[in-house]
Amino acid sequence: MQPTSSPPQHQADLNGRLEALASQVNELLEQGDRPAARAACESMFALNGAYNQAHMLMARVMMPGDNYAAILSRLHRHLQPAGYAEIGVATGASMALAEADTHCVGIDPCPRVTANIAARARLYPVTSDDFFARYNLLEELGVERLDLAFIDGLHLFEQALKDFINLEKYAHPGTVVMIHDCYPPTELSAARDRVMAYWAGDVWRMIPLLVKYRPDLKVGVIPSLPSGLGMVTGLDAGSTLLEERFDEIVAEFMALEYAELDERRDELLPPLSNDWDAILGQLPG
Ligand SMILES: C[S@@+](CC[C@H](N)C(=O)[O-])C[C@H]1O[C@@H](n2cnc3c(N)ncnc32)[C@H](O)[C@@H]1O
């Protein structure tokens, strides 16, 4: 009888092959060979579809250039926002990118702040829905203008949509809203239920939804690591369409499958080049 490899040995072999492929992807990326790096990622998926590192490497293949923090940091320096709101604070890493004289409101039911944001931010340990039900954002900011906002809370598109609707009520025509996680590189990273450490959820659905129902807005997606940044400008505090048709719109976009995103990515997620000049060109004058 042929000896069969025991399950632990089989697992060790598999891990070895995955690690070798991961090194190969890193080398190919260093050489600038993205198609070959993508193919090596696909080989990793064939071995283990839920291998977290393979999804993170695919993100690197698809999103060259500055990461979201670098872009947010440049936006803060360029816009010098009087008021900044952040939904989803976690450790405070993104909140810490705000300029010293920007008035900040951070909203997160489970903040775990380690970054030094105390001088700049008022932190509200509640869900975004609770915050907007209880407080007036501009009053809490203590300034007359919400110039910049970052939506990075619950990774479900209907919640991100509610967050956008609530923020827009306090917006002026020059307000910039950034939305994290709008460019998931793989189906598993875009799942509504988190299955891996690397997770964007289905926030991406926000983008085609805004494009269809709010043609008055300027909407684009910057393919920036780790999972893309949506950028929305041209806001209208008086617009009520999204709120009035919320249930219908959510049902319509819940039915949009990831496979369609994969096929029509550039059409569904209008690309904004990950290049500072292109981003500047999208900002309100
Ligand atoms: C990805 S983390 C935010 C990371 C942070 N913006 C950064 O870039 O450093 C997402 C955060 O959203 C928070 N969150 C989850 N549900 C939320 C909700 N309904 N309202 C506001 N924040 C929420 C979580 O507690 C978590 O800390």
pLDDT of residue 11: 86
- Model's pTM, two decimal places? 0.95
Rounded to 5°, the CA angle 155-160-162 comes to 140
Mean pLDDT of the chain: 95
Atom of ligand 1 nearest to the CA of 86: 6
The token duo for 179 is 């939305």
pLDDT of residue 285: 77
Atom of ligand 1 nearest to the CA of 150: 6
In sequence order, the β-bridge partners of residue 150 are 86, 178
| Residue among 275, 173, 177, 261 at smallest CA distance from 223 | 275
With bands split at pLDDT 50, 70 and 90, how would you rate the model's confidence at 111? very high
Q: Is the pLDDT of residue 117 over 90?
A: no
Q: Is the pLDDT of residue 126 over 80?
A: yes
pLDDT of residue 118: 65
Q: pLDDT tens for residues 195-238?
A: 999 999 999 999 999 999 999 999 999 999 999 999 999 999 99
CATH 3.40.50.150 domain locations along the chain: 68-282
Among protein residues, the one whose CA lies closest to atom 18 of ligand 1: 127
Q: pLDDT tens for residues 75-86?
A: 999 999 999 999
Do the beta carbons of residue 249 and residue 213 sit within 8 Å?
yes
CATH architecture assigned to 68-282: 3-Layer(aba) Sandwich (3.40)
Q: Which of 108, 179, 180 to mutate to test the pocket of ligand 1 (most atoms within 8 A of CB)?
A: 108
> How far is Cα of residue 41 from the mean position of the Cα atoms in its chain?
22
CA of 111 to the centre of ligand 1 (A): 8
